[in-house]
């Protein structure tokens, strides 16, 4: 992953959807702004990827996107919580 995952699940969802929301929000503005935004993000993404590779990390390019669409397994119920219910 290029950035560590935020601890807050709400923040994870916001970060996952923010680029898509901005794409549609900026679509009605002057095309120069959209071109600037896309170009700037592409350059920043590429720069971060190159820096991480040069320091020996192997970035997972699409791990954040894929993980956002996977269903999370249910949390296991511990023995202590079962004992409290009885």
pLDDT in tens, 63-73: 766 777 777 77
Domain presence at residue 52: yes
pTM reported for the whole predicted model? 0.42
Spatial separation of the C-alpha atoms in residues 60 and 65, rounded to whole Å: 10
Tens of pLDDT along 1-44? 566 666 788 888 888 888 888 888 877 777 787 788 889 999 99
Structural domain of 65: 9-70
Domain presence at residue 2: no
In this prediction, residues 34-63 reach a mean pLDDT of 85
Tokens of 72: 């999370």
Distances (CA, A) of 11 to 7, 15, 16, 19, 34: 8, 6, 9, 13, 24
Domain presence at residue 66: yes
Lowest average pLDDT, out of 34-38, 54-58, 72-76, goes to 72-76
């Amino acid at each position: 992953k290029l950035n560590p995952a935020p601890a807050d699940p709400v923040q994870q969802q916001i970060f996952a959807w923010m680029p898509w929301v901005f794409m549609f929000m900026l679509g009605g503005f002057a095309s120069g702004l959209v071109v600037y935004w896309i170009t700037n993000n592409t350059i920043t993404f590429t720069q971060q990827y190159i820096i991480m590779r040069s320091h020996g990390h192997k970035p997972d390019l699409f791990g954040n996107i894929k993980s956002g669409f996977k269903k999370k397994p249910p949390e296991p119920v511990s023995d202590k919580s079962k004992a409290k219910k009885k």
